[in-house]
């Protein structure tokens, strides 16, 4: 992390100089504005007056077309007139000669106006033809009210409303819209905290959107969201209804003081064709009641009494003779003036349930051939990730251990809830519990006695209940303001016999796109990858969480820092993490200190490995998206944090710096040791000083290794630049390797050093060992999580020894050990996406270990398009010691493909692309048919420089 920060410094400037790469063809696609994917974002709203655009160059169906680059682009942007009185705005960039296709700035003279509808389109010129590629279609978006807080507190003045008297969680208001002129626009801004759902004239405005708005430190930042309801408001009477939930605003949550009852802020602007306007605000004319939800809690689930359902309560003309609707009270704003708290537009994709939650840019079985067959992947336990069936899970089995109890197995540890079909008498109560695993007797006797194991949820009950209204046609229940982490779903008291067809469970997480796919001929690695992707998805719930099930689910910074690289390889999360960076900065103290947990931070100053989330996430976002603006935007915060660490260090020295979690949860019984106090770097001299001090303090000159010799100490010292003097490197490595051997080829590392161990081994001539460790299935190992006598993990455990540990801290879905997932992409597939050059360098196991990874297929969707690498060792029977590698490089980029020797001291004989020899050991020329091939004399490593296109390389080694 040290080096990363140093690099932040220089890259900040260098990146501005060196333009990103170039190329192109048909009609641009996957267009983004302000990082939002326009293809998948509905009601696209941006919160900046000067957006930036990205697009991908079209891909030809002709695989022979290569080296495609963009040479120019043209952007056109114009306002969409709402009323007769609006002025119109048009901007045309004209043809701009430029290779830039990502983060292209709007360069118009005038800022975009707030609260305005716009559309834009673009076209490009490429090296493929003289003519421009055809325009994209017009893409609509609208701008937010940029200074929302000021607008709401000075101009509009809606009230925060709710009740201190009753559990008021259904609020409604009717209003009349005149028919003098047609409605041309109806825009709503709403905040309902903890959670809200908005209904207009009887319909939920966005049914898949859940648990909105995102979680923040409410007193500093509270989110509003906005909807375009233009098609939904008509002349005459209209009605708005809002359901409120406690969410994270509730005092029930761990370690957070109660803020008070839920509350609503609402403002609807209706503009008519003739330019007239009207507003509907949250004010004291609204009424409310306790609706069907009697109780709701993030941790403890929800109680729902369907007898309280009032048909039509969000429609105009509703008249309720059965329940008491009372006037709302005006409640204080959640944001604190003293803390300069702000009402802010939520500027990231929302949490969604089901098919709308996950989009796809990659798939396992793509057009690109036969490298991995379905049968290679058929053994994976858990729900399939890439065929679109992963968004709503059906149980794979149901059992009835006792009369009146059904236990459903989803086959996958997931995050969300279940929808259940019930039929029975009015007032019958049905109870739902959620657990990650079955109760322990299975472990000892093999006979399951019917229980689910909920002890590891600790204080979170994850318990829902439903009281039937008695509909003879049946009724469907699904909870509204809670979320569960579980694989087993237990229903008690159902009045009707249930089958698997009566249950389906939407997967719930922040909306995102799957952008990475990694699969191989090794079943263990494939299962780990599966578990990481599911674990990651379950831990993006508006903030990166440590776990999704017990009474925690918090934004632990260490977990976020360790997983972010893996997360960004697998999912498109730029908006999500930018939001999280803002939440971190919200709670940064004036002395630069940041807490261990965000939002609602606790634990100042953070342990350095936790606090590093600020710089690590900033850096990884830059690395994965090539957007240097991210570095400059957070630079001051990172610097302040580094200075804070530095002053702590000045006071205490390295050994006693702050407090230390050390290397968290290594496999027992090994004690943990030193904290990795590495992220103290901003300045190289200071870093060097620390590096030397680290060595001085922890290196034992008698034994020639660090501390007491445990793996973590050696790994961290070796992984940090300049800590281990050259003269000591060999002995430290020897110690690390011998300790691994002594433990029967097992790691003894916790989360911090595990993240470093695998890249360290692969980069230092021990890739074979790294592969051996990752494919181990005996304790402790990743493989043990799903190859043990007790449980079949389908996500990543918190502890290496989960089955033998008590419930206190023993989640089956923690993402922190998922850090290894980055190594799958960066070393096994070998994809490095530095902003100016793609490098593909799959690390090679030697001949003796090639069976561990004989085939691999990896796709990574970048802002330029899909990067793909597939390889097969010794594919063509006639030639042993060969590798066949298929590579796809997206247009407008350049790549280096690096071939490592297939076995020690081997030499490349021939390098073939398609059916042409492009390099041969016998020939003197190295430039053949546009391929620039280099051979490194000492290592024998071969490098080929290529542009975009599809390639089939074969390298023969002797």
Ligand X SMILES: *[C@@H]1O[C@H](CO)[C@@H](O)[C@H](O)[C@H]1NC(C)=O
- At its nearest, how many Å lie between ligand X and the CB of residue 679? 15
| 741 sits near ligand X (criterion: CB under 6 A) | no
Question: Token pair 């300069």 is at which residue?
Answer: 340
- Return d(Cα 196, Cα 210) in angstroms, integer: 8
Instruction: Return the number of the residue (267 or 736) whose C-beta is nearest ligand X.
Output: 267
Among the residue ranges 198-206, 523-531, 845-853, 882-890, the one whose residues contact ligand X (CB under 6 A): 198-206
Selected from 107, 274, 277, 926, the binder of ligand X by CB under 6 A is 277
- At its nearest, how many Å lie between ligand X and the CB of residue 189? 5
Say if residues 488 and 438 touch (Cβ distance below 8 Å). yes
| 196 sits near ligand X (criterion: CB under 6 A) | no
Among the residue ranges 256-264, 367-375, 384-392, 697-705, the one whose residues contact ligand X (CB under 6 A): 697-705
Instruction: Return the number of the residue (154 or 231) whose C-beta is nearest ligand X.
Output: 231
Q: Which of residues 93-132 bind ligand X (CB under 6 A)?
A: 115
Selected from 5, 55, 106, 189, the binder of ligand X by CB under 6 A is 189
- Return d(Cα 25, Cα 71) in angstroms, integer: 10
- Return d(Cα 205, Cα 198) in angstroms, integer: 6
Instruction: Return the number of the residue (640 or 715) whose C-beta is nearest ligand X.
Output: 640
Instruction: Return the number of the residue (577 or 687) whose C-beta is nearest ligand X.
Output: 687
- Return d(Cα 875, Cα 431) in angstroms, integer: 56
Question: Token pair 């590579």 is at which residue?
Answer: 887
- At its nearest, how many Å lie between ligand X and the CB of residue 909? 49
| 796 sits near ligand X (criterion: CB under 6 A) | no
Q: Whats the size of the chain, residue-wise?
A: 958
Opening angle at CA 624, ends 622 and 627, nearest 5: 40
| 394 sits near ligand X (criterion: CB under 6 A) | no
- At its nearest, how many Å lie between ligand X and the CB of residue 840? 43
Instruction: Return the number of the residue (419 or 646) whose C-beta is nearest ligand X.
Output: 646
| 269 sits near ligand X (criterion: CB under 6 A) | yes
Say if residues 474 and 423 touch (Cβ distance below 8 Å). yes
- Cβ contacts of residue 571 below 8 Å, gap of 6+? 512, 513, 514, 515, 516, 536, 537, 540
Selected from 119, 121, 419, 646, the binder of ligand X by CB under 6 A is 646
- At its nearest, how many Å lie between ligand X and the CB of residue 146? 10
Among the residue ranges 125-133, 357-365, 574-582, 645-653, the one whose residues contact ligand X (CB under 6 A): 645-653
- Return d(Cα 425, Cα 420) in angstroms, integer: 16
Query: How is residue 113 annotated by DSSP?
Result: P
Among the residue ranges 75-83, 519-527, 640-648, 689-697, the one whose residues contact ligand X (CB under 6 A): 640-648
3-state secondary structure string, 760-822? HHHHCCCHHHHHHHHCCCCCCCCHHHCCCCCCCCCCCCCCCCHHHCCCCCCCCCCCHHHHHHH
Instruction: Return the number of the residue (110 or 130) whose C-beta is nearest ligand X.
Output: 110
Q: Which of residues 649-678 bind ligand X (CB under 6 A)?
A: 650
Selected from 700, 741, 926, 930, the binder of ligand X by CB under 6 A is 700
Nearest to 715 by CA among 754, 744, 741, 677: 754
Instruction: Return the number of the residue (231 or 375) whose C-beta is nearest ligand X.
Output: 231
| 479 sits near ligand X (criterion: CB under 6 A) | no
Query: How is residue 513 annotated by DSSP?
Result: E
- At its nearest, how many Å lie between ligand X and the CB of residue 154? 12
The continuous run of DSSP H or E covering 411 comes out as strand 405-416
- Return d(Cα 797, Cα 485) in angstroms, integer: 13
Which tokens hold the place of 841?
Answer: 């360098």
Selected from 64, 87, 154, 231, the binder of ligand X by CB under 6 A is 231
Helix (H, G, I), strand (E, B) or coil at 578: helix
Note the maximum CA span of the chain: 94
- Return d(Cα 527, Cα 161) in angstroms, integer: 49
Say if residues 189 and 229 touch (Cβ distance below 8 Å). no
Selected from 107, 397, 647, 738, the binder of ligand X by CB under 6 A is 647
Instruction: Return the number of the residue (23 or 267) whose C-beta is nearest ligand X.
Output: 267
Among the residue ranges 197-205, 440-448, 580-588, 732-740, the one whose residues contact ligand X (CB under 6 A): 197-205
Selected from 23, 267, 405, 494, the binder of ligand X by CB under 6 A is 267
| 154 sits near ligand X (criterion: CB under 6 A) | no
Beta strand 139-143 with 45-46 is parallel
- At its nearest, how many Å lie between ligand X and the CB of residue 650? 4
Instruction: Return the number of the residue (270 or 585) whose C-beta is nearest ligand X.
Output: 270
Selected from 187, 242, 405, 414, the binder of ligand X by CB under 6 A is 187
Give φ, ψ of 302 to 5 degrees: -140, 145
- At its nearest, how many Å lie between ligand X and the CB of residue 645? 9
- At its nearest, how many Å lie between ligand X and the CB of residue 562? 27
| 695 sits near ligand X (criterion: CB under 6 A) | no
Query: How is residue 731 annotated by DSSP?
Result: H
Instruction: Return the number of the residue (201 or 950) whose C-beta is nearest ligand X.
Output: 201
- At its nearest, how many Å lie between ligand X and the CB of residue 70? 37
Q: Per-residue DSSP letters for 579-627?
A: HHHHHHHHT--TTS---SBSSS--SSSPPHHHHTHHHHHHHHHHHHH--
| 203 sits near ligand X (criterion: CB under 6 A) | yes
Instruction: Return the number of the residue (44 or 912) whose C-beta is nearest ligand X.
Output: 44
| 258 sits near ligand X (criterion: CB under 6 A) | no
Say if residues 598 and 559 touch (Cβ distance below 8 Å). no
Helix (H, G, I), strand (E, B) or coil at 112: coil
| 43 sits near ligand X (criterion: CB under 6 A) | no
Q: Per-residue DSSP letters for 40-67?
A: T-SS-EE--SS-EEEEEPPPPS-TT---
CA 60 to chain centre: 30
Instruction: Return the number of the residue (92 or 276) whose C-beta is nearest ligand X.
Output: 276
| 703 sits near ligand X (criterion: CB under 6 A) | yes
- Return d(Cα 919, Cα 954) in angstroms, integer: 11
- Return d(Cα 941, Cα 949) in angstroms, integer: 23
Selected from 46, 205, 752, 887, the binder of ligand X by CB under 6 A is 205
Instruction: Report the DSSP beta bridge partners of residue 118.
Output: 79, 141
Helix (H, G, I), strand (E, B) or coil at 932: strand
- At its nearest, how many Å lie between ligand X and the CB of residue 230? 8
Selected from 133, 193, 200, 505, the binder of ligand X by CB under 6 A is 200
| 467 sits near ligand X (criterion: CB under 6 A) | no
Instruction: Return the number of the residue (267 or 494) whose C-beta is nearest ligand X.
Output: 267
Say if residues 199 and 212 touch (Cβ distance below 8 Å). no
- At its nearest, how many Å lie between ligand X and the CB of residue 141? 15
Instruction: Return the number of the residue (269 or 612) whose C-beta is nearest ligand X.
Output: 269
Q: Per-residue DSSP letters for 655-670?
A: TT-S----S-SPSTTS
| 702 sits near ligand X (criterion: CB under 6 A) | yes
Nearest to 668 by CA among 604, 726, 752, 748: 748
- Return d(Cα 791, Cα 381) in angstroms, integer: 11
Q: What is the CA radius of gyration of the chain?
A: 29
Among the residue ranges 77-85, 248-256, 291-299, 696-704, the one whose residues contact ligand X (CB under 6 A): 696-704
- At its nearest, how many Å lie between ligand X and the CB of residue 418? 25
| 918 sits near ligand X (criterion: CB under 6 A) | no
How many chain residues bind ligand X (CB under 6 A)? 20
- At its nearest, how many Å lie between ligand X and the CB of residue 229? 7
Among the residue ranges 341-349, 633-641, 644-652, 665-673, the one whose residues contact ligand X (CB under 6 A): 644-652
Residues of this chain that interact with ligand X (CB under 6 A) are 115, 145, 187, 189, 200-201, 203, 205, 231-232, 267, 269, 277, 643, 646-647, 650, 700, 702-703
């Amino acid at each position: 992390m040290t080096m990363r920060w140093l690099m932040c410094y220089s890259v900040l400037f260098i990146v501005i100089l060196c333009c990103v790469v170039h190329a192109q063809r048909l009609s641009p696609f996957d267009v983004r504005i302000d990082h939002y994917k326009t293809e998948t974002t509905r009601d696209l709203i941006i919160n900046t007056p000067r957006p930036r655009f990205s697009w991908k160059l079209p891909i030809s169906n002709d695989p022979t077309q290569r080296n495609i680059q963009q040479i120019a682009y043209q952007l056109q942007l114009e306002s969409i007139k709402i009323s007769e009185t609006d002025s119109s705005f048009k901007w045309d960039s004209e043809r701009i000669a430029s290779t830039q296709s990502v983060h292209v700035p709007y360069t118009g003279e005038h800022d975009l106006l707030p609260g305005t509808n716009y559309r834009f389109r673009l076209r490009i010129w490429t090296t493929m033809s003289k003519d421009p590629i055809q325009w994209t279609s017009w893409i609509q978006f609208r701008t937010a009210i940029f200074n929302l807080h000021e607008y709401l507190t000075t101009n509009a003045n809606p009230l925060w409303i709710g009740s201190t008297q009753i559990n008021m969680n259904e609020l409604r208001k009717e209003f009349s819209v005149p028919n003098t002129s047609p409605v041309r626009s109806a825009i709503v801004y709403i905040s309902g905290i903890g959670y809200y759902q908005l209904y207009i004239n009887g319909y939920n405005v966005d049914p898949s959107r859940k648990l909105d708005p995102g979680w923040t430190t409410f007193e500093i930042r509270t989110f509003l969201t906005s909807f375009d309801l233009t098609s939904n408001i008509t002349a005459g009477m209209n009605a708005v209804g809002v359901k409120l939930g406690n969410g994270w605003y509730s005092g029930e949550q761990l370690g957070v003081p109660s803020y008070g009852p839920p509350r609503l802020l609402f403002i609807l602007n209706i503009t008519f064709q003739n330019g007239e306007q009207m507003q509907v605000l949250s004010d004291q004319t609204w009424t409310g009641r306790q609706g069907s939800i009697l109780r709701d809690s993030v941790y403890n689930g929800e109680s729902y009494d369907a007898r309280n359902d009032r048909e039509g309560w969000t429609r105009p003309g509703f008249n309720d003779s059965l329940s008491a609707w009372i006037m709302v009270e005006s409640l204080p704003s959640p944001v604190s003036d003293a803390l300069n708290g702000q009402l802010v537009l939520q500027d990231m994709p929302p949490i969604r349930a089901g098919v709308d939650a996950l989009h796809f840019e990659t798939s396992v079985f793509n057009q690109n051939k036969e490298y991995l067959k379905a049968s290679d992947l058929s053994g994976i336990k858990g729900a399939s990730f890439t065929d679109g069936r992963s968004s709503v899970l059906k149980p794979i089995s149901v059992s009835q251990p006792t009369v009146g109890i059904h236990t459903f197995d989803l086959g996958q540890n997931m995050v969300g809830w279940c929808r259940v079909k019930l039929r029975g008498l009015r007032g019958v109560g049905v109870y739902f519990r959620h657990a990650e695993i079955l109760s322990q007797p299975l472990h000892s006797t093999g006979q399951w006695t019917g229980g689910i194991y909920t002890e590891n949820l600790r204080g979170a009950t994850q318990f829902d209940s439903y009281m039937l209204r008695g509909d003879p046609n049946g009724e469907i229940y699904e909870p509204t303001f809670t979320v569960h982490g579980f694989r087993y779903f237990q229903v008690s008291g159902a009045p009707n016999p249930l089958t698997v067809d009566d249950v389906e469970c939407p997967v719930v997480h922040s909306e995102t796109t799957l952008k990475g796919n990694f699969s191989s001929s090794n079943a263990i690695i494939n299962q780990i990858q599966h578990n990481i992707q599911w674990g990651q998805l379950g831990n993006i719930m508006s903030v990166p969480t440590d776990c999704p099930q017990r009474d925690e689910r918090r934004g632990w910074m260490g977990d976020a820092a360790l997983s972010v690289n893996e997360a960004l390889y697998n999912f498109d999360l730029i908006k999500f993490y930018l939001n999280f960076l803002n939440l971190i900065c919200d709670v940064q103290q004036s002395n630069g200190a940041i807490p261990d947990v965000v939002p609602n931070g606790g634990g100042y100053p953070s342990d350095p490995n936790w606090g590093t989330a600020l710089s690590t996430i900033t850096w990884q976002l830059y690395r994965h998206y090539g957007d240097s603006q991210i570095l400059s935007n957070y630079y001051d915060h990172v610097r302040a944090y580094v200075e804070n660490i530095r002053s702590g260090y000045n006071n205490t020295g390295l050994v006693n710096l702050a407090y230390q979690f050390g290397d968290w949860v290594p496999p027992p019984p090994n004690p943990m040791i030193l904290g990795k106090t590495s992220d103290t770097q901003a300045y190289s001299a200071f870093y060097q000083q620390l590096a030397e001090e680290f060595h001085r303090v922890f290196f034992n000159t008698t034994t020639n290794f660090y501390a007491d010799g445990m793996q973590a100490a050696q790994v961290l010292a070796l992984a940090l630049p300049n800590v281990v003097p050259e003269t000591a490197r060999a002995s430290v490595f020897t110690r690390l390797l011998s300790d691994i051997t002594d433990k029967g080829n097992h790691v003894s590392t916790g989360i911090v050093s595990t993240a470093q161990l695998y890249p360290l081994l692969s980069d230092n001539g021990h890739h074979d060992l790294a592969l051996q460790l990752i494919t181990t299935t005996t304790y402790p190992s990743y493989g043990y999580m799903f190859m043990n006598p007790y449980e079949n993990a389908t996500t990543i455990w918190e502890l290496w020894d989960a089955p033998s540990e008590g419930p206190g801290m023993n989640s089956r879905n923690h993402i922190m050990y998922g850090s290894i997932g980055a190594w799958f992409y960066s070393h096994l597939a070998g994809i490095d996406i530095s902003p100016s050059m793609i490098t593909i360098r799959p690390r090679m196991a030697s001949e003796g270990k090639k069976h561990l990874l004989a085939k691999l297929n990896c796709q990574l969707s970048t802002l330029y398009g899909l990067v793909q690498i597939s390889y097969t060792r010794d594919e063509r029977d006639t030639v042993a010691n060969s590798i066949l590698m298929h590579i796809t490089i997206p247009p407008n980029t350049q790549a280096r493909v690096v071939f490592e020797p297939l076995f020690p001291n081997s030499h490349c004989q021939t390098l073939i692309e398609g059916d042409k020899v492009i390099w041969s050991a016998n020939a003197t020329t190295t430039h053949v048919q546009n391929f620039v091939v280099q051979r490194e004399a000492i290592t024998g490593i071969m490098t080929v420089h290529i542009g975009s296109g599809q390639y089939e390389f074969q390298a023969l080694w002797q």
